[in-house]
Structure 1
Amino acid sequence: MPKKSTQSTSTADLAPQTNIPNVFKDGLPIPKMFAFDLDYTLWPFWVDTHVTPPLKAKEGGAKSVDRFGESFAFYRDVATILATMKSLPSPPLLATASRTHTPDLAQTLLKQLTVPTTPWIPATTTFKPAREFFDQHQIFPGDKKTHMTRLSEKTGVAFEDILFFDDETRNRNVETLGVTFWLVRDGVTWAEVERGVREWRRRNAKDGK
C-alpha cells in the first residue's frame, strides 16, 4: 500500500521559525554537508509513480498540480529548514540524493516549489525555487553509495562530514563509506534534523564529551 501523509506545506502553514534548533547555535560543529533523499523524505509521495506530468506551480510555488489536479508539496517543516540552514553564518552545503526513475520530473518539482529567502515569513519576504537552495543534485537510479561518492568527489567534502537523511533502511549501507545515515519515518522535521546532527556528532566524536 502507498504511504500516506498529510504533512505537506502551504504558505499559510509556514509559521515564524524563531526557535532555531540548539544544534545550530550551541557552538559545536555541524556537518559540512546535509544530503536529503526526496521521496517520503522531503515530500510525501513517490515522484515516479504518484505524479503525472505536466506540472504547474500554484499558490506562488507552495504546491504543484499535475495533469489530474493532484497537489504535491514539501513536508511542513522542509521550506523553513532549507531557509534556516542557508541563513547560518557559515552555511553547510545542501544536496539531494534520490534514486527516482524520473529525475527530470523531480527537477521540475524542485524548480516549481519555492522556499522563503529568510527562515521566517514576514509580509515582505521573497521566495526562490527550492532547487536553488541545493548546492548539488544527484538524482538517478542506483545504489545510494554511488550518490554519496559523487557528492564527495564534486565538492571535496569527506564522507565523514556528510549527514544523509533517508526513509529507507536499505540505504544505511552508505555508512560503510563513513557517511552518517539518519532514518526518517514521516518526513524531515526540525526534530529529525536535530537528532541527525547529534548522531553525526556522536559518530565523529564532535559532541564535546
Structure 2
Amino acid sequence: MTLARRRNEPELIVFDLDYTLWPFWVDTHVSPPFKSDGKGGAYDRNNYHIELYPDVRDLLNELAEKEIKLAAASRTEAPAAAHDLLKELNMDNYFHYKEIYPGSKTAHFKSKLPFRFRAMSGVRYIDMLFFDDEQRNITDISRLGVTCALVHTGLTRHAFHTAMDEFIRTRQT
C-alpha cells in the first residue's frame, strides 16, 4: 500500500551525502572500487565495510512509499566515487535527482541550468527540505527560502521528524 504525501509535507527532500547519509567523506575516507555486501552495505578497495547511518534506509523507504521526490546533493571532489557508492549501496532508485560535483552547494539548487534542482523538479524553494551536516551549507541554502536541517551526527529518525515538524510549522504561519 502506497502512503500518500500529505498536503503540508515537502514536495522535494534533498540530502547531502557525506556525514549526512553515511559516516565519512567519500573523497578521502574510502577507496573505490566499491562492491555491495548484498545486505545494504558495501566494501571498498581496502575491504573497509561501508554502511549508512542506521535510520537512513528505513527513512528513505518511508519517503518512497509516500512518493515524495528525493534528491542527493554533494560537493565532493570525487563525484564518480559517490555515484558508484550510491549504486553499490542500492540507493540509486531512491533519488529522482542527483547533483554531485565540487563547488558551492548553492549551485545544486539554483533555478538556472546547469544548476538544477529547481529547474529539473519544478518545485519551489519553499516546498523543499534540505539536510546537511555543515552549517555553511545550511546558511547558504536557507537564504534561498529552503527549509534546512543541520544534522550533527548524521540523519536520524529524530532529526528527520524534527525537521519535518519545522517544515510543517512554517507552512502554517
Give the TM-score of the pair, scaled to structure 1: 0.75
Give the match for residue 156 of structure 1: 122
For 1:143 and 1:161, the matched residues in 2 are separated by 21
Report the Cα distance in structure 1 between the residues aligned to 2:39 and 2:144, rounded to whole angstroms. 36
Which of 14, 21, 35 is the aligned partner of 1:42? Answer: 21
**Which of these residues, 142, 163, 172, is aligned with residue 196 of structure 1?**
163
Gaps of 5+ in 1: 1-23, 114-128
Partner of 1:30: 9
- 1:63 partnered with 2:29: no
Residue 198 of structure 1 deviates from its aligned partner by 1.4
**SS, match of residue 28 in structure 2:** helix
Question: What is the Cα deviation at residue 61 of structure 1?
Answer: 4.3
Task: Give the match for residue 75 of structure 2.
Answer: 99
User: What one-letter code is carried by the residue in structure 2 that aligns with 1:191?
Assistant: H
What is the deviation of 1:201? Answer: 2.1
Q: Following TM superposition, by how much is the alpha carbon of 1:41 offset from its aligned partner in structure 2, in angstroms?
A: 0.2
- Structure 2 CA distance for aligned equivalents of residues 136 and 181 of structure 1: 18
1:75 corresponding residue in structure 2: 53
Question: TM-score scaled by structure 2?
Answer: 0.89
2:14 alignment partner AA? A
Question: Using the alignment, how far apart are the partners of 2:80 and 2:127 within structure 1?
Answer: 28
Identity rate, percent? 41
Deviation at 1:86, TM superposition (A): 0.8
Give 1:28 shift: 5.8
Cα RMSD after superposing both structures: 1.8
Retained in 2: the 8 A contact 1:61–1:112? Answer: no
3-state SS of the aligned residue for 2:143? helix
Q: Which residue of 2 aligns with 1:141?
A: 102
Count of equivalent residues? 165
Task: Give the distance between the partners of 2:7 and 2:97, measured in 1 at CA.
Answer: 25
Distance of 2:43 and 2:103 partners within structure 1: 28
Question: How far apart in 2 are the matches of 1:146 and 1:198?
Answer: 27
Cα distance in 2, alignment partners of residues 61 and 181 from structure 1: 31
In 2, Cα distance between equivalents of 1:181 and 1:144: 13
Amino acid at match of 1:69: N
The letter of the residue matching 1:146 is A
Pick the structure with greater CA Rg. 1
